[in-house]
């Protein structure tokens, strides 16, 4: 193929553009906003398959991404860090299938949980080392890497795939713009938002993360980055509200400070809301009904960073070399 248009400049769109350009294609990105304005910029961006169906394909893509991010972490300028932490387990039926994609995961009993975690007796854990991205630094690095490969980027409102085909005359189109993807294609009624709210605190020196999906008070996670700690969160299916809710923020702060007491006196640095693009399954593949090849790659829920490089490689394989 000659030129390929990627719609979307979040972590999925940028990763796809990178892999296609690296394979020799001429690529342009069309997006309503730059990466800094996308939901990717809101994410805690720790490797973890959250709000996504843990199918074999998802776990394979997650594993590919894990190893790619692990390599990128050797270069500090990428913003990727390898950090140890604990996933708390409060239920016997907790899905731990994701551990097959993570090397060296260790099962912890209650007495073995790290001292900085204040969890109820009977809670166990899975301790492992995960990649996480300092989102601002990582998205800047990824954008620069894409541009260095010759990809052209245009910030513009896209109303439909047909509009792109008629105006730009690309040889193929990849739709990878998160929650807006279904509307652009017009053939998908399975996609819905999951509202996520976070508050970021000044980092008192923490390096270890904690994920507590089954906290009885609500989804709770603590992800320390270089200077701040991303604290969450919420899982609100169907909500399109992108406003910060003060009451929700206070509830998040109560949960994270109870779980990690070292955060008790830390000031708020920033706050944000993002809409995770959820679906019963990730949509990745060819889309019928157009006069040129069109591909979809969206519906990653809270696992955009987790699946980014693996799914980008899948799209590149479907399209083939230049």
| pLDDT confidence of residue 38 | 87
pLDDT at 2: 74
Written as six digits, the tokens of 153 are: 């980027």
Please give the residue that has the higher pLDDT: either 79 or 166. 79
Q: Given this model, what pLDDT does residue 216 score?
A: 93
What confidence tens digit (pLDDT) does each residue in 16-39 have? 999 999 999 999 999 998 888 888
Band (pLDDT 50/70/90 cuts) for residue 66 is: very high
What pLDDT is recorded for position 52? Answer: 94
Helix (H) or strand (E) holding 4: strand 3-7
Q: Which helix (H) or strand (E) holds 196?
A: strand 192-202
> Quick one: pLDDT at residue 50?
92
- Nearest CA among 1, 8, 293, 45 for reference residue 177: 8
The reported pLDDT for the residue numbered 213 is 93
Q: Quick one: how far is CA 320 from the chain centroid?
A: 25
The mean pLDDT value for 227-231 works out to 97
Residue 167 binned pLDDT confidence (cut-offs 50, 70, 90) = confident
Nearest C-alpha neighbor of 18 from the set 160, 174, 164: 174
Q: Tell me the pTM.
A: 0.95
Separation of alpha carbons 175 and 227, rounded Å: 34
- Average pLDDT value for residue range 214-243: 96
Q: Decide if 139 contacts 14 (C-beta within 8 A).
A: yes
Q: Give yes or no for residue 117 having a pLDDT over 70.
A: yes
pLDDT band at 1 (very low <50, low <70, confident <90, very high): low
Phi first, then psi, for residue 29 (nearest 5°) are -110, 130
Q: What is the mean pLDDT of the chain?
A: 95
What's the pLDDT at 262? 96
% the chain with pLDDT above 90: 92
C-beta of residue 174 within 8 angstroms of C-beta of residue 27: no
Nearest to 128 by CA among 71, 91, 89: 89
307 closest CA partner among 40, 9, 49 = 49
Determine the pLDDT at residue 169: 78
CA-based torsion, 124, 126, 127, 133: positive or negative: negative
CA distance 216 to 58: 27
Q: For the segment 90-104, what is each residue's pLDDT rounded down to a tens digit?
A: 998 999 999 999 999
d(C-alpha 90, C-alpha 110), whole Å: 10
Does the domain at 3-319 match CATH 3.40.640.10? Answer given as no
């Amino acid at each position: 193929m000659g030129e390929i248009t990627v719609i979307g400049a979040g972590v999925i769109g940028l990763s796809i553009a990178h892999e296609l350009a690296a394979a020799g294609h001429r690529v342009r990105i069309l997006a309503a906003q730059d990466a800094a304005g996308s939901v990717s910029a809101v994410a805690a961006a720790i490797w973890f398959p959250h709000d996504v169906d843990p199918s074999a394909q998802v776990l394979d893509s997650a594993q590919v991404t894990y190893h790619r991010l692990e390599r990128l972490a050797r270069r500090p300028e990428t913003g990727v860090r390898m950090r140890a932490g604990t996933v708390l387990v409060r239920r016997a039926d907790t899905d731990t299938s994701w551990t097959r994609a993570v090397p060296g995961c260790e099962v912890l009993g209650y007495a073995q949980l790290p001292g900085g975690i204040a969890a109820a007796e009977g809670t166990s854990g899975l301790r492992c080392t995960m990649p996480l991205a300092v989102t601002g630094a990582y998205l800047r690095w990824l954008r620069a890497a894409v541009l260095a490969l010759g990809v052209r980027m245009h910030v513009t409102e896209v109303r439909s795939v047909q509009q792109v085909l008629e105006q730009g005359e690309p040889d193929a189109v990849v739709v990878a713009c998160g929650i807006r993807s279904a509307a652009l294609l017009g053939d998908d009624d399975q996609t819905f938002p999951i509202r996520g709210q976070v508050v970021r605190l000044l980092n008192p020196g923490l390096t270890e993360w904690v994920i507590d999906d089954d906290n009885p008070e609500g989804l709770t996670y603590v992800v320390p980055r270089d200077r701040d700690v991303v604290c969450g969160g919420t899982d609100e299916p169907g909500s399109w509200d992108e406003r910060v809710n003060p009451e929700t923020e206070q509830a998040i702060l109560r949960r994270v400070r109870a779980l990690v007491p070292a955060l008790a006196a830390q000031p708020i640095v920033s706050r944000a809301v993002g809409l995770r693009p959820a679906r019963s399954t990730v949509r990745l593949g060819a889309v019928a009904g157009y006069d040129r090849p069109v591909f979809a790659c969206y519906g990653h829920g809270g696992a955009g960073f987790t699946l980014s490089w693996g799914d980008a490689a899948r799209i590149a394989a479907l399209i083939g070399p230049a």
